[in-house]
Structure 1
Amino acid sequence: MSKKLTKNRKKILEKINNHKKYSLEEASILVKKISFVNFDASIDISVHLGIDTKLPNQMIRGFVKLPHGTGKNIRILALVPKDKELEVKEAGADYVGLGYIEKIKSGWTKNIDIIITIPSVMPQLGSLGKILGPRGLMPNPKLDTVTMNPGKSIKEIKSGKISFKADRYGIIHVSIGRVSFSHQYLFNNAKEFLNKIIRSKPSSCKKGSYIKSIYLSTTMSSSILVDSKSFIL
């Protein structure tokens, strides 16, 4: 096993020039070739932004609809009252009902990726902040996870809408597909995401480099540096 891993690492090193910035299209092709795991690995993009995360008006967060989705089955919990249950079930919610609030209080969160709710339910979730907050599961109007139209939000998420948020270092890290995707699908998804990030540039951001670096990678692979000038809005 160790010899095989060594050979794979050598192959990766041979394919990647660490001193080169690849075009987004080149990176979308190459990133598929450097995955050697025995499963359909996730392909991720990391963007380091030149923002001051200590300033509220420079915090970058939002959502974007990827043209080809992420290839992942997003498990959604809809915390809605009885009159909304049929709507969210038909939209594709995996777990439905306010009864899950008590389950969450008991520690149940491992089976969900996103929680959708409506404004009137939010006061009931205040006590769950310490549980949901650290896991990134707390519903937020800015991410369209607190909405008067939960069915619509669920359909959009199931069809490829993802949320993003810069961490304290100014880095945004999201999945844009799978190794099984065609390189054109990966390119389209990455381009749509990056264009959204550019459009989200705060007016208060200092002059200079807004996008410091962009990297594409797969699960357990090396990262590929992308030339930020290689795609057009």
Structure 2
Amino acid sequence: MKKGKSYVESAKKVERNKQYESAEALELVKETARAKFDETVEVHIKLGVDPRHADQQVRGTVSLPHGTGKTRRVLVFAKGDKAQEAEAAGADYVGAEDLAEKIQNGWFEFDVAVASPDMMSVVGKLGKILGPRGLMPNPKAGTVTPDIERTVNELKAGRIEFRVDRTSIVHAPIGKASFDVEKLQENLNVLADALIKAKPAAAKGQYMRSVTICTTMGPGIKINPLVLMAANK
């Protein structure tokens, strides 16, 4: 696919086969952000796991100290006191069967869904709709929880979910191109630390195989994975 002029100009600044130190890479990722909007800075980390095996799954949540720069629209399935907690914490949408019906009719104006445990009889019917979109509440991701208030607050503040995909890669946002390098570095370090702590016992050999950062519209920049791991041990 033909790349745009802006992308080509940005790519010229990146040495394709070089593995950068993270601070230098983050400086460069800001420099190569040329879109007219505030681009998201993404990290893509290839892990030495085989996600086809249940004992090599990597999944969890982490609260980035400086958030992602994006206000997430939080939907909460809850009733009674839990619904009041959700509303007080700033959830964008709160409901039960009414929200389930809207979703069944094709409404998806939210970024993350949370449910109190007693609502799973309602939410369970949405599995085939929400699951493929990565929106299904799940206890492992901390989105099925009795602690609705804390969860909504954390999600609004910058808590993200990470999960290895079928190609053994974890994809995650770590901020915006407008963030200072120091803030991006701290967010990256916190994510890397969470991934290291989530390393499966069954994983063999080098755990972080490659680390690439980029903006939404920018070229990929490689970070030395061994240096990143060493900095977060």
Question: Contact conserved, 2:76 with 2:113, CA < 8 A, in 1?
Answer: yes
Map of 2:79 onto structure 1: 81
Map of 1:116 onto structure 2: 114
Map of 2:95 onto structure 1: 97
Map of 1:65 onto structure 2: 63
Structure 2 length-normalised TM: 0.94
CA distance in 2, matches of 1:14, 1:174: 25
SS of equivalent residue, structure 1 residue 77: strand
Runs of 4+ in 1 over 4 A off after TM superposition: none
Please list the CA deviations of residues 43-70 of structure 1 after superposition, one character each: whole Å capped at 9, or x if unmatched.
1000011101111111100001101000
Alignment of 1:47-66 (within 5 A): 47-66=45-64
CA distance in 2, matches of 1:119, 1:66: 26
| Post-superposition offset of 1:145 | 0.3
CA distance in 1, matches of 2:69, 2:31: 18
Structure 1 length-normalised TM: 0.94
CA distance in 1, matches of 2:84, 2:8: 54
SS of equivalent residue, structure 2 residue 60: strand
Map of 2:182 onto structure 1: 184
CA distance in 2, matches of 1:148, 1:161: 17
CA distance in 2, matches of 1:9, 1:86: 47
Map of 2:162 onto structure 1: 164
Question: Contact conserved, 2:11 with 2:32, CA < 8 A, in 1?
Answer: no
Question: Contact conserved, 1:82 with 1:97, CA < 8 A, in 2?
Answer: no
CA distance in 1, matches of 2:100, 2:27: 44
Map of 1:228 onto structure 2: 225
Alignment of 1:129-208 (within 5 A): 129-206=127-204, 208=205
Q: Which amino acid aligns with 2:56?
A: Q
| Post-superposition offset of 1:195 | 1.2
Which of 196, 207, 212 is residue 210 of structure 1 equivalent to?
Answer: 207
Map of 2:106 onto structure 1: 107
SS of equivalent residue, structure 2 residue 18: coil
Q: Which amino acid aligns with 1:71?
A: G
Map of 2:37 onto structure 1: 39
| Post-superposition offset of 1:199 | 1.3
Q: How many residues align?
A: 227
CA distance in 2, matches of 1:155, 1:224: 33
| Post-superposition offset of 1:10 | 4.7
Question: Contact conserved, 1:176 with 1:186, CA < 8 A, in 2?
Answer: yes
CA distance in 2, matches of 1:134, 1:10: 34
Unaligned runs of at least 5 residues, structure 2? none
| Post-superposition offset of 1:13 | 3.2
Unaligned runs of at least 5 residues, structure 1? none
Q: Percent identity?
A: 39
